[in-house]
């Protein structure tokens, strides 16, 4: 059959199955399986075109669902992003502008509202909001950031310790909950939140020896000298060249990080001792040393992601085997993006694309047209209103995001644009003088343009993302783009008004 005939038939099938799903939707709302990793770069997912790794299980969600190509965070660090996802609000409203504050769990969150609407709610893994989770029938959270091995956790208020590799422990706890604790009479929200691939990138399980015999491609901007921008990029402390510690590079491991059984310890030593001896023998310096550090860091990071990808496969298989897959919306995302050597960096924080843009994909059998992608501008504040629409509950007026359901159910971006969608996003980063010393900034991004106001240091940068996707040359002071700058500055004022952003920090 040729493509001209195939398309209309597939389209009709999709419309019919979509209509059936919406009938079922009224009878029993779907389950939500929300899988989030920590610091997962979109550059390290094959569904986003990675040239450095493959993620077959995450790609399965992409192939069977919808991939968001323009999904962003409101504040690119861990705790603020987690609070934004739970509450559907920007940092100035959810009260976690930096990693230092304590989350007020009494404010409206999507899991708590879903629970009131009759859902069974569960959370396993990283929480990182300082106060105990609220709105869950069951939770088992890591203490703080959590270690890579033998994690100490808090299960519904009680301390527990689990042997094993944390990514696998979290996966097993989630599967146990699905098999043993889930109430088959109720729909569920299950949030599975990995520590990996957060710093300091300790691999485990079957992946500790991945990539040993190959060299990864280097990003084009690994040796960026920041000459095309203002001074903000030169103020940071997140370079591969100068700021990775010996523990980050696995050259010296403090005992408190080595929470391992004797067998795991022996496996670790067998893997890293010869690699470190080979490194010492090479006596590298200058650019060669930077290249070696990049390889060491990026490979460990990708090994951690390989375990996260395995986890996604185990969870997808589990809902298949339990007969839940057809009634479950599956989401894969990260709490923000990440620099995998781009601009010479690791870490996040900036409004530059690598850390601002974040992976997000959704599978919803019978509703989402498989394999579709969207370039509409979406943000982590949109998730709570989306999940509440899926569960059939009302979003509180306080929530500032937009439900993504019109995007999930559409066949094209044009269809959504016809009914109206945002054309600009607001971003703000609040943590000055914190780790990595990135100056405070805010900004606006449209499909083509980005303006970043580094208000703390009185500098503005602007980029043409169409012609300069790596953001190597700021055009903020280029007279040719003065009218674009004026328009973006007006947009920034409008967005701040729309979202009630206070003048001070």
Applying CB under 5 A, among 32, 37, 39, 305 the residue interacting with Ca ion is 39
Q: Say whether residue 224 binds Ca ion (CB under 5 A).
A: no
Least distance from Ca ion to the Cβ atom of residue 170, Å? 15
Distance of CA 23 to the CA centre of its chain: 32
Binding segment for Ca ion (CB under 5 A), chosen from 31-39, 222-230, 284-292, 430-438, is 31-39
**Least distance between Ca ion and beta carbon 39 (Å):** 4
Applying CB under 5 A, the span of 75-83, 172-180, 214-222, 371-379 interacting with Ca ion comes to 75-83
| Structural contact between residues 211 and 299, judged by C-beta atoms closer than 8 angstroms | yes
Q: Which of 33, 38, 129, 259 binds Ca ion (CB under 5 A)?
A: 38
Closer residue to Ca ion in complex, CB, 38/140 = 38
Query: How many angstroms separate the CA atoms of 72 and 330, rounded?
Result: 19
Residue 105 has φ and ψ, to the nearest 5°, of -75, -5
What gap in Å lies between CA 345 and CA 338, rounded to an integer?
Answer: 9
**Residues contacting residue 450 through CB under 8 Å, at least 6 positions apart:** 351, 443, 444, 462, 463, 465, 471, 488
Q: Which residue is nearest to Ca ion (CB)?
A: 78
CB of 50 to Ca ion, least distance (A): 19
> 45 to 74, contacts with Ca ion by CB under 5 A?
none
Q: Residue from 41, 45, 67, 78 that binds Ca ion (CB under 5 A)?
A: 78
Site size toward Ca ion, by CB under 5 A? 4
Name which of 40 and 259 has its Cβ closer to Ca ion: 40
Q: Phi, psi at residue 163, to the nearest 5°?
A: -70, 155
**Nearest CB to Ca ion, comparing residues 38 and 471:** 38
Strands 152-155 and 138-142: what pairing?
A: antiparallel
Question: 282: buried, middle or exposed (CB in 10 Å: 19+, 13-18, 0-12)?
Answer: exposed
143 vs 405 by CB, closer to Ca ion: 143
33-41, 232-240, 324-332, 373-381 -> range binding Ca ion (CB under 5 A): 33-41
Q: Please report, as residue ranges, which positions from 347 to 386 form the binding site for Ca ion (by CB under 5 A).
A: none
In 242-373, which ranges are continuous DSSP H helix? Answer: 262-282, 286-321, 353-356
Task: Compare residues 79 and 376 and give the one whose CB is closer to Ca ion.
Answer: 79
Tokens 């980063």 correspond to: 429
Residue 460: count other Cβ atoms within 10 Å of its Cβ: 18
When the beta carbons of 43 and 403 are compared against Ca ion, the nearer one is 43
Burial tier of 161 (Cβ tally within 10 Å: 0-12, 13-18, 19+): exposed
Give the nearer residue to Ca ion in terms of CB position, either 68 or 364: 68
Q: Which member of 74, 137, 335, 456 binds Ca ion (CB under 5 A)?
A: 335
- What residue ranges bind Ca ion (CB under 5 A)? 38-39, 78, 335
């Amino acid at each position: 059959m040729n493509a001209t005939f195939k398309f209309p038939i597939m389209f009709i099938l999709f419309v019919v199955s979509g209509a059936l799903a919406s009938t079922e939707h009224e009878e029993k709302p779907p389950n939500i399986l929300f899988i989030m990793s920590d610091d997962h770069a979109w550059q390290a997912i094959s569904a986003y075109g990675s040239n450095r790794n493959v993620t077959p299980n995450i790609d399965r969600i992409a192939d069977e669902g919808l991939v968001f190509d323009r999904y962003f965070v409101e504040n690119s660090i861990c705790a603020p992003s987690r609070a934004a996802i739970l509450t559907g609000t920007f940092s100035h409203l959810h009260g976690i502008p930096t990693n230092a504050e304590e989350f007020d769990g009494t404010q409206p969150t999507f899991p708590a509202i879903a629970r009131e609407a009759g859902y069974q709610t569960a959370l396993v893994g990283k929480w990182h909001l300082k106060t105990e989770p609220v709105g869950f029938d069951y939770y088992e959270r890591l203490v703080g950031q959590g270690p890579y091995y033998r994690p100490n956790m808090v299960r519904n208020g009680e301390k527990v310790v689990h042997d094993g590799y944390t990514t696998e422990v979290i996966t097993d706890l989630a599967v146990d909950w699905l098999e043993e604790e889930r109430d088959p009479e109720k729909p569920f929200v299950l949030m599975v939140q990995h520590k990996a691939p957060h710093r300091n990138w300790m691999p485990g399980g079957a992946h500790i020896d991945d990539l040993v015999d190959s060299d990864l491609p280097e990003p084009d901007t690994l040796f960026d000298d920041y000459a095309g921008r203002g001074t903000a990029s030169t103020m940071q402390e997140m370079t591969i060249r100068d700021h990775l510690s010996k523990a980050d590079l696995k050259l010296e491991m403090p005992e408190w990080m080595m929470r391992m059984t004797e067998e795991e310890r022996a496996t670790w030593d067998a893997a890293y001792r010869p690699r470190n001896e080979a490194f010492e023998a090479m006596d590298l310096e200058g650019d060669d040393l930077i290249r070696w550090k990049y390889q060491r860091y990026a490979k460990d990071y990708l090994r951690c992601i390989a375990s996260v990808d395995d986890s996604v496969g185990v969870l997808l298989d589990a809902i298949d085997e339990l007969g839940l897959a057809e009634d479950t919306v599956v989401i894969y995302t990260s709490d923000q993006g990440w620099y995998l050597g781009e601009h010479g960096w690791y870490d996040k924080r900036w409004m530059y694309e690598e850390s601002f843009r974040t992976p997000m994909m959704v599978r919803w059998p019978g509703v989402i047209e498989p394999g579709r992608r969207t370039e509409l501008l979406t943000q982590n504040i949109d998730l709570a209103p989306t999940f509440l629409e899926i569960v059939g509950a009302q979003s509180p007026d306080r929530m500032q995001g937009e439900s993504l359901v019109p995007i999930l159910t559409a066949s094209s971006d044009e269809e959504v644009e016809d009914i109206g969608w945002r054309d600009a996003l607001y971003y703000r980063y609040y943590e000055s003088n914190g780790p990595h010393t990135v100056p405070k900034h805010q900004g606006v991004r449209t499909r083509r343009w980005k303006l970043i106001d580094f208000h703390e240091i009185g500098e503005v940068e602007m980029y043409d993302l169409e012609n300069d996707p790596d953001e190597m040359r700021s055009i903020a002071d280029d007279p040719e783009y003065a009218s674009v700058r004026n328009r973006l500055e007006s947009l920034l004022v409008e967005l701040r008004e729309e979202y009630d952003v206070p003048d001070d920090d």
